Chains A and B, each alone.
Chain A
């Protein structure tokens, strides 16, 4: 049981480039989340999804887009990367009810 898998683990981009981060979960969870973690700021929610085909904005959605075409996958896109998007990105999923979120091991993204 792999849980939550994030691809890639590391990436370096130049300003203005685009990329997509992939999150896959094998627990049949309805809810999925994308966070960014920056020093001293904890985790901030970027976008989330409450089910296949649905997405919603979180606390810091600007500059990011998401898609949830399949229940097990949640994609985070950066259309035009900026240095301020240098961060560690975490994906999480959870089941219905008051259940804990399960996290992937993160994608470390540097924008030069």
Chain B
């Protein structure tokens, strides 16, 4: 079965420090992977996607994600966290019927 796992419910990081939000996936065939961010009382906003090519994908707001096929992971990263990055982050994989399967989300808290 195709699935996405976000092993951490919450990640805490100090402003200015690097951050990583973890995601692992299980899918048959080549994975199409996405990261979205959700701010309070808002819908999900697209950050970045991986389809093929370079394993390091750059996205919006200074975020990037590293695709690792052998570890079936697609971790979200940012070199220097901002307090305004505090939000709920979702990893998603497109399944073989062209629909997205979402992880359960990771709450990122950046402390001043």
Which residues on A are within 8 Å of B, measured CB to CB? 4, 33, 40-45, 48, 58, 90, 92, 98, 100-106
Contacts and interface: CB of A to CB of B under 8 A. Distances in A.
20 contacts: A33-B99, A41-B104, A42-B90, A42-B105, A44-B102, A45-B100, A90-B43, A90-B44, A92-B43, A92-B44, A98-B51, A98-B94, A100-B36, A100-B46, A101-B100, A103-B45, A104-B43, A105-B41, A105-B42, A106-B41
B29 to A, nearest CB: 13
**A33, A43, A44, A105 pick with most chain B CB within 10 angstroms:** A43
B34 A100 contact: yes
Interface string B28-47: 00001010100001111110
A33 B49 CA distance: 19
A48 B104 contact: no
Interface in B65-107: 90, 94, 99-100, 102-105
Given A40-B104, A45-B99, A98 B43 contact: no
Given A42-B90, A45-B99, A98 B104 contact: no
Given A42-B103, A43-B90, A48-B99, A102 B41 contact: no
Contacts of B44: 43, 90, 92, 101, 103
Nearest to B94: A98
Nearest to B4: A42
B46 A101 contact: yes
A101 B51 CA distance: 15
A104 B100 CA distance: 16
Contacts of B49: 98, 100
A38 to B, nearest CB: 10
A105 B94 CA distance: 22
Nearest to A44: B102
Given A90-B44, A103-B36, A103-B43, 11 more contacts: A4-B43, A42-B105, A43-B90, A90-B43, A92-B44, A98-B32, A98-B49, A100-B46, A102-B46, A103-B44, A106-B41
